[in-house]
Chains A and B, each alone.
Chain A
Amino acid sequence: MFTDQVRNALKFYAIPLIALIIASWQVSHIQYGLSRWKGGGFGMYTEVHADSRQLVVNDSLIVYDSLRDNKKIRLIFKNYLFYPRKKYCSSLMEQLKIEDDTAKLEIWLPEYDAKMNLLTRKKIHEYIHIED
């Protein structure tokens, strides 16, 4: 009887439950820099798209278009841009051929003020990476 109930619950509710867990996890990680657009939390159209974020490494702007030829670096770049995490820093430095022991990484996001009719930018992430 109990196993039947569990089986039915899994059949009917397991997939939405997984969706709920993934979406809740996404919402809880927005505060750490994860874009609302990404990560399965259905937060599309709530802020400027993650593609508009800008990455600055050691005071120089990294433009996505300049990385077009290298698939691996594009992947690492976007992964870091959409959700900045420490584990991508080393590979990002390596791929960008930055040989400094320390690197300052910043992510900026455009922000539009409708009342003032001004498009500005705000810094949403800053991290000092020290190579081991």
Chain B
Amino acid sequence: MNISILKTRQLDKLDKLHILSYFFILYCSIYPFVIYRNPWYIKVSIVLIILLCFFVHFFKKQIMIPLAGLLIFYMYLTFLGKYYIIGNHGFVTIYIGFMLLLAHVFSLEEDVIIRKNSLWLLLVIMLFGAVQKLFSPNYLSGDYMNYVFNVGGLFPLLGLNSTMGAYFEENRVLVQEFANTYPTMSGAVRLNLLFEHQTVLIYWFSIFIILVEFLFVLALFWKNEVYKHLFFLVFLITVAFTRQETGFLSMLCFLCFTQLPQNMPKIFNFSYCFFFLGCLVFMFLKIGYH
């Protein structure tokens, strides 16, 4: 009786680590495949590595070696000479990759390794995100968010409205023309404002974002798992609607998913998986920012 329970638990744990590993492999495969204009031999190599992963997993019950291989390949493609060019999610991907490898190596403690590493990684990411906003004069004055809003970079669904879409488009053209001119201190361009009191509203929205990010940091230590993960999911969905940052959001979703305990309702598992795979689909279709 006890042995069968133990086996079931072991299988559950293995399942989660394997799901996470496959998610990671999928992400690492799609990213260089879709985002960069890589030559054909790089793309062929990625497809071969994915096939190798499946082959080794099904016939040798071993995923660690292909995972390590793909991680090295990903690092070579994204980081070599591009340390200051790559986005922040590139860094998060590498951290997650090493965390998964560590979990595979010390498989008896895989649950604790994944949960603790992810928790502190999330803390570092969100804390630095919030603090950097707090110390950026451009952000804190609401200027930056107003700029993004004026060029249609916030709430992309609003762009569906033809009138607003035309305003955004006009602003984008103004910004583009401005960017092509020789920079001087005196050069300036006036953008179209969408509605009255827009500046004040977006300013408070900027402040609200900082508060929510600090709340996210606090939420990491909430005891009530249901509220905690509900908050995470609402946060992820809201960010996705505010700004389609599919690359970063998929990594954030991955880390939140690792915090989910085994005994939670399956709807949470499903929601995280759906969100993560949704981000990958958007990335594959080159929709959003990645």
Contacts between the two chains (Cβ within 8 Å), count: 158
Known: A47-B144, A118-B190. A108 touches B95 (CB 8 A): no
Asked if A86 lies at the interface with its beta carbon under 8 angstroms from chain B, I say no
Provide the residues of chain A in CB contact with B84, threshold 8 Å: 34-35, 38-39, 78-79, 82-83
Interface of chain B, main secondary structure: helix
Asked if B269 lies at the interface with its beta carbon under 8 angstroms from chain A, I say no
Known: A37-B87, A79-B84. A121 touches B144 (CB 8 A): no
A18 touches B95 (CB 8 A): yes
Interface string of A29-45 (1 = CB under 8 A from B): 00000111111111111
Asked if A3 lies at the interface with its beta carbon under 8 angstroms from chain B, I say no
A80 CB, nearest partner CB in chain B, Å: 9
Compute how far the CA of A48 lies from the CA of B138 in the bound complex, rounded to whole angstroms. Answer: 9
Asked if A96 lies at the interface with its beta carbon under 8 angstroms from chain B, I say no
* Interface residue tally for chain B (C-beta within 8 Å): 61
Provide the residues of chain B in CB contact with A110, threshold 8 Å: 175, 178-179
Asked if A117 lies at the interface with its beta carbon under 8 angstroms from chain B, I say yes
Interface string of B173-199 (1 = CB under 8 A from A): 011001110111101111101000001
Provide the residues of chain B in CB contact with A37, threshold 8 Å: 87-88
Known: A11-B102, A36-B132. A45 touches B95 (CB 8 A): no
B205 CB, nearest partner CB in chain A, Å: 12
B43 CB, nearest partner CB in chain A, Å: 17
Asked if B222 lies at the interface with its beta carbon under 8 angstroms from chain A, I say no
Asked if B204 lies at the interface with its beta carbon under 8 angstroms from chain A, I say no
